[in-house]
Structure 1
Amino acid sequence: MGTADIETPVTSPFTLRVIPRDQHNISRRDISPNALRVLYRLREGGFGAYLVGGAVRDLLVGGHPKDFDVATDATPEQVKSLFRNCRLIGRRFRLAHVVFGREIIEVATFRANSDDGSGDRELENGRLVRDNVYGSIEDDAVRRDFTCNALYYAIEDFSVRDYVGGFEDVQARVMKLIGDPEQRYREDPVRMLRAVRLAAKLGFTIDEATANPIPRLAGLLGEAAPARLFEEILKLFLSGHAVASFEGLEHYGLFATLFPESGAALRSNRSGALRRMLIEGLRNTDARVANDEPVSPAFLFALLLWPAFCKTLIGLQAQGVHAEEAQRRAADRVTLHQLERVALPRRFSLPMQEIWLLQSRFSARQRKRVFRTLSHPRFRAAFDFLVLRQTASADHAVDIAFWRETVQTSGHEIASHEDGPQDEAGEEGAPRKRRRRRRRPGGEGGEGGSAGGSAD
């Protein structure tokens, strides 16, 4: 349960409120049967057991949680003794995973902030590397990040336990941090992204006191681990609420912190064409998620970094660099600079660059070049990107019409060169067999291309 990752004590001004079954809408019918098994087994073993966090929050607003986490006063070792299908994971935060086929119920022991010496807490060069100091359910509640994530569903009487005022905040659809907002953001700057993401997902507003420090502290994201920021970006934009997430990031100055060059390019684009294209691409992504269609991180980053690519390319061409060389340099430069902030894996960055570099080929009409473009494994994603560019400029209409007609008349000739949607969706499977072709500097696209036919 990542939301319990807090080192600084938080004093709760709240007291326990018990919301009985007839005053909330959570039903056992909407809870995973495996999560219920874990809750009942823990209770039968003499331990307290509660459904906690995002699942409780989502059920209260009528959602359908994908993950069900459990909090208990049993230690990880005691949990393991009750379940043969249990494994213990984690060093800094010891957790129990109870495995039911493809579903994992995560069980965490209540944690406390203060250590009387009996807990398992270890510092290494001033950094907390182990923090398994257990406490009460109230200790556990005030360690969490947002009040809406600090609600506990009790299986013994089907009530909801609220120690921090989260139940009222959920009813009011408000995101509110527990404790002093600035202190909490300084402890973990990624909480700013979580505030925006959860508000976008739930349709919540962010409480004024929680929102006010964000623009001033946005730069702290530069201290976050690049790999962690990559994962947070995927959650922000590939969970079905990409447009709302982008608007939230933009409003609080977080987008320009995550994507400095794209942020600068959007600000300097007076016509707003690049922003229109970005919004339309994110809207398409949300539609694909809603339809349970595959979405691709490579296509997503091609979209998010396109403003930076365009601005860099224009600068290089203004310096007299030949068009084809300028495109390669711009792609490499933008990717390299972005890697300083976000750890974008090569299996996504290389296909992203291919999507960009293929754009210039769509004006070619020579038969040999046309069929070479059609046979490229990134053709479908690149063509979808060209269609998306029509949102920013009507200049591409002729090219789009030509390639649509060409695909229809030549489909049988390119079918053997196109992979299906699942192969192109960024899965880390076996390398695909491809037709041998001349390689450009920088190597092949590798895994993780765009979903087949994806306008995401």
Structure 2
Amino acid sequence: MRCGQSGRNAQDDCGRTRLEKHRYVRQRGTGASRIECGQLGVFREVFERVKKAVTRLFKGPETQLKKVPTVISKSRHGIDPRLVSFAARRTCELLQQRGYKAYIVGGAVRDLMLGVQPKDFDVATNATPEQVKRCQRRAYIIGRRFRLVHVVFGQEIIECSTFRALDADGVRKDADGRVISDNVFGEMWEDAARRDFTINALYYDPTSEEIYDYHNGFEDISARCLRMIGDPMERYREDPVRMMRAVRISAKLGFKMERATEKA
């Protein structure tokens, strides 16, 4: 029967006729556009292949998140303990005496490895801001978006932060992916993954004089390579200032940017 006829059999015949012809009909106003189903399937398959290829081309290098760090001994890293400020060392000691983990982190460790006296020191710990404050003689909790503790030793201020969680409901981002609030605490390996460059993700224990390395930052410093942790495009969206920081560090230290870090 024809499609225009009424009745159940006519509908069945009409349905079979459409399947046999393999046509997809989409009404647009008074007209109709017909696309062969077979051609549509081929188009979708080609589109998905091209999409995956483009994604692989422009996606930054995938980083395996290590939960167990490489421990680098004093004999390997060669840091001169005399370059470590008393305030940074004492901040770590007071936290460790209370059973907390505490390490010098960031650019200070990088500079120490290069034999340069750091201008300032940051400390990372698993103690909460309130616990840090109770462990120190003069300490002040600051910030709302990112809660930190300033530990005061005379004219020197040690900025102390709690390990940040990698992915959590409390980490708020705007429509562009920029982090606007982050007060969710996590493990040390998560904190390392949240940092910008591999050379800034080293944790130095001034008591044991060991470095804890999650992202091969020790090797990158030796090779004078500036490498972003994770997908550079995504990390730049989280904090656009990182682009300026990358240029500044590269120019200041004479480090060459890794390809994906530079192209993003």
Paired with 2:65 and 2:193, the residues of 1 have a C-alpha distance of 10
Amino acid at match of 1:166: G
- 3-state SS of paired residue (2:182): strand
Tell me the equivalent position of 1:71. 124
C-alpha change, 1:197 and 1:31, in structure 2 (3 Å) is same
- Preserved contact between residue 12 and residue 142 of structure 1 (Cα < 8 Å): no
Counterpart check, 1:168 vs 2:219: yes
* Cα offsets for 1:299-352 (capped at 9, x unmatched): xxxxxxxxxxxxxxxxxxxxxxxxxxxxxxxxxxxxxxxxxxxxxxxxxxxxxx
Cα distance in 1 for residues equivalent to 2:63 and 2:165: 12
Q: Tell me which residue corresponds to 1:197.
A: 248
Bigger strand share? 2
Look up the match of 1:96.
Answer: 149
User: Conserved in 2, the CA contact under 8 Å of 1:39 and 1:49?
Assistant: yes
In structure 2, relative to structure 1, the CA distance for the partners of 1:198 and 1:124 (3 Å cut) is: closer
Q: Deviations over 1:99-121 (max 9, x none)?
A: 11211000000001222x6xx55
1:13-412 paired onto structure 2 within 5 Å: 13-14=65-66, 15-115=68-168, 121=171, 129-213=180-264
Tell me the amino acid that sits aligned with residue 154 of structure 2.
G
- The whole-number CA distance in structure 2 between the counterparts of 1:182 and 1:121 is 19
**Alignment check: 8 A CA contact 2:166 2:193 kept:** no
Question: What's the TM-score once normalised by structure 2's chain length?
Answer: 0.71
Give distance in 2, aligned partners of 1:200 and 1:123: 30
**Matched pairs, number:** 201
Kindly provide the CA deviation profile for residues 8-43 of structure 1, in whole angstroms up to 9, marking residues without a partner as x.
xx9634452110111111122110011111011011
Q: Please list every run of 5 or more consecutive structure 1 residues that lacks an aligned counterpart in the other structure.
A: 1-9, 214-456
Q: Deviations over 1:53-104 (max 9, x none)?
A: 0000011111110101000000000000111300000001100000112110
Distance change in 2, residues 1:94/1:12 (3 Å): farther
Q: Work out whether residues 70 and 108 of structure 1, in 8 Å CA contact, stay in contact via their aligned partners in 2.
A: yes
Cα distance, 1:123 vs structure 2: 6.9
Question: Residues 69 and 106 of structure 1 are in contact (CA less than 8 Å); yes or no, is this contact kept in structure 2?
Answer: yes
- SS at 1:132 equivalent: coil
- Secondary structure of 1:153's counterpart equals strand
Secondary structure of the corresponding residue to residue 12 of structure 1: coil
List alignment gaps of at least 5 residues for structure 2.
1-61
Summarize the Cα distance change of 1:142–1:128 in structure 2 as closer, same or farther, 3 Å threshold. Answer: closer
Deviation string, structure 1 residues 114-164 (Cα, Å, up to 9, x no partner)? 22x6xx556789975431110111000000010000000023421110001
Instruction: Write the letter of the residue equivalent to 1:104.
Output: I
Give 2:64's aligned amino acid. Answer: S
| TM-score, normalised by the number of residues in structure 1 | 0.42
Q: Which amino acid aligns with 1:159?
A: E
Secondary structure in 1 matching 2:140: strand
Aligned equivalents of 2:63 and 2:227: distance in 1? 15
Match of 1:227 in 2: none
Aligned equivalents of 2:112, 2:209: Cα separation in 1: 13
Higher normalized helix content (fraction of residues):
1
Tell me the secondary structure at the aligned position of residue 84 of structure 1. coil
Identity of aligned residues (%): 53
The 1:177/1:122 distance shift into structure 2, 3 A limit, reads: closer
How many angstroms apart in 2 are the aligned matches of 1:204 and 1:123? 31
The alignment yields a C-alpha RMSD, in angstroms, of: 2.0
Q: What's the CA shift for 1:183? A: 1.8
The answer (yes or no) to whether the contact 1:95–1:106 under 8 Å persists in 2 is yes
Residue type of the partner of 1:205? K
Q: Distance in 2 between matches of 1:197 and 1:121?
A: 27
Which ranges of 4 or more aligned residues in structure 1 deviate by more than 4 Å?
120-129
Structure with more relative contact order (C-alpha pairs < 8 Å, separation 6 or more): 2
**What is the CA–CA distance in structure 2 between the aligned matches of 1:78 and 1:13, rounded to whole Å?**
28
CA contact (8 A) 1:110 1:140 kept: yes
